[in-house]
Structure 1
Amino acid sequence: MINVVIADDHPLVREGLKKVVDQTTIDIKVIGEASDAGELLELLREKDPDIVILDIAMPGKSGLDVLKDIKEYHPGLPVLILSMHPEDRFAIRSLKAGASGYLTKSSISEQMVSAIRKIVVEKKRFISPAVAEQLADRVDVNSNKPLHEELSDREYQIMCMIGSGKKVNEIAEELSISKQTVHTYRSRIKDKMKLKSNVEITRYALKHSLID
C-alpha cells in the first residue's frame, strides 16, 4: 500500500484528489490532509507517508518554501508538486528545490496515479514532456538565461503577482508578510531585472508568458 498525505488549502481540491485515488486504485491510500504549512509539518511528525502531494500556492509559506522545509526535516520523503500554473512557470524551480515531480491541476485525473507510482515504486522523478523540453534547453550552451531565473523563489513569486496586477496590500495579505517586506522584494526585483516600474514588470511577465 502506498500511503499519501495531501496538502492543499482548498477542501474541494483535496476531495477531488482523494476521489481520483479511491476510484482508480486499490493500492494507494490517503492517510492525512493539511490545509497549510503548519498543519502539514505537524502531520508529518505523526504520520509516515510514502509521498506528499503539495499545492505550490499554499497560504503563508509558499509551496516551494514548504518543500524546502520537508527536505530539511524529512530528506527521504518524496514530494509531488501540484500547481494551477503551466510547467514553464514553476516546474524547474520545484525540481531544483527537491521535488520528485510537478503536475498541473488540469492533468490530475489523467496523470496523478501514474506520477505517484513512478515516484514511489520506480524511485524515479515524474517529468512531463514539457518539463523534459525545458531541461533539454537548460543544457544548451548557446541558450541565454532569462533575467527572471536569477530571482529567488520568493522574488519570482512576487514578481508574478505584481505582473498579474495585484496590489502591495493584496500580496502582503496573501503571503502573510508585511507591506514593507513586499516593497523590499519589489525593489530587489527591479534591481536584478533592470526594471523601473510595476508596468515594466507586467510587460516583462507577459512577454515571457509568466502570467495569463
Structure 2
Amino acid sequence: MRILLADDHALFRSSLRLHLETHPELEVVAEAADCESVLQHARRTQPDVILLDLAMPGGDALDVIPRLREACPASRILVVTAFASPTYLRRSLSAGASGYVCKATSPEQLLAAVRAVREGKTYISLSETESGAALGTGSTRVPAVGPELSGRERQVLELIAYGHTYKEIASELGVSIKTVETYRSRLSEKLGLRSRSDIVRYALDHNILRA
C-alpha cells in the first residue's frame, strides 16, 4: 500500500513514517508540509492512501480535499488531525475524505484506519480513549427516524452530531441545559451511544448526519 503523508510538523511525519514502515506491506512514497505540495506529490505519486492534516500552511486543507479527489480519484483520504470535532468531521467527509481520526489515537487504531479506508470503508474516531469504527460504504442504511426515538430525541441527537454544545442546543430548542442532558441520557439508554463518536457514527449510518 502506497501512502502520502501530509503534515507541517516534520517530527510528527517522521514518527508516523517509522511506525507505518514497520509493516512491510506499507510504503510511504512522499511527504508534504503544505497544501500546495500535497497536491503536487499526489499528482506525481498517485498514492493508495493520503494521510492529511487539516492545519497546514498554504491554504485551507478542507478545500484541498476535493482537489485531491480530482487529481487522484483512486486515492483514499484519511484526515489525521488534532481537531476532535464533529463539525470538522462532517466537513471533511462532505469534501470527500474517507476517514477521520484524532492525532492522539493509538498506533493500532491509526493502522486500522489506514487499512479500512483502503478497503473502501469510512473510518471515524474522534477520541484517543475510544476505539474507532469502520462503516461499510456498500451497506444499506436504515431510515433516519427509528421508532425508538421521539422527535425531540432525534433533534438533540442531530445537534450533538453536528458539534453543538449542550448550551447551544438548549438555546436552539428553547429548553434548559438540564433538559438537554436528560435527552442525552435517554439516547445513551435507548441506543447505547456512550461517546460523541458513537453519536456521529449512528447519525451517519441512519442518514441523520450526511457525509
Could you say whether these structures have the same fold, taking a TM-score greater than 0.5 normalized by the shorter chain as the test?
yes
Q: Deviations over 1:72-97 (max 9, x none)?
A: 32233210001112143411221121
Distance 2:11 2:44 in 1: 24
Structure 1, unaligned runs of 5 or more: 150-212
In the alignment, what sits opposite 1:76? 74
**Partner residue in 2 for 1:126:** 123
State the distance in 2 between where 1:9 and 1:90 align.
18
Q: Give a deviation string over 1:53-111, Cα, whole Å, max 9, x none.
A: 00011113122111121123223321000111214341122112111100100005131
Map Cα deviations across residues 83-140 of structure 1 (whole Å, 9 max, x no partner).
11214341122112111100100005131111111111x22111237887xxx9xx45
| Paired position in structure 1 for 2:39 | 41
| Bigger fraction of residues in helix | 1
Aligned structure 1 segments of 4 or more residues deviating by more than 2 angstroms = 72-76, 127-132, 139-142
Query: 1:30 deviation in Å?
Result: 0.3
One-letter code aligned to 2:121: K
* 1:133-159 Cα distance to aligned partner (Å, 9 max, x none): xxx9xx45631665xx6xxxxxxxxxx
In structure 2, the CA distance between the partners of 1:59 and 1:18, relative to structure 1 (3 Å rule), is same
Give the secondary-structure state (helix, strand or coil) at the position aligned to 1:106: coil
Change (3 A) 1:130 1:113: closer
Task: Report how many aligned residue pairs link the two structures.
Answer: 146
Query: Aligned with 1:143: secondary structure?
Result: helix
Counterpart for residue 162 of structure 1: none
Amino acid of the structure 1 residue aligned with 2:49: I
C-alpha separation in 1, matches of 2:87 and 2:43 = 31
2:90 maps to a residue whose letter is I
User: How much identity, in percent, do the aligned residues show?
Assistant: 33
Looking at structure 2, the residues matched to 79 and 114 of structure 1 have their Cα atoms a distance apart, in angstroms, of 14
Partner Cα distance (2:101, 2:111) in 1: 11
- Alpha-carbon distance in structure 1 between the residues aligned to 2:116 and 2:20: 15
**Mapping 1:109-188, distance limit 5 Å:** 109-120=107-118, 122-128=119-125, 139=144, 142-143=154-155
Q: Name structure 2 gaps, 5 residues minimum.
A: 134-140, 146-150, 163-211
After TM superposition, list the pairs within 5 Å mapping 1:95-106 onto structure 2. Answer: 95-106=93-104
1:9 is matched with 8
Provide the C-alpha distance between the structure 1 equivalents of 2:92 and 2:132, rounded to a whole number of angstroms.
Answer: 11
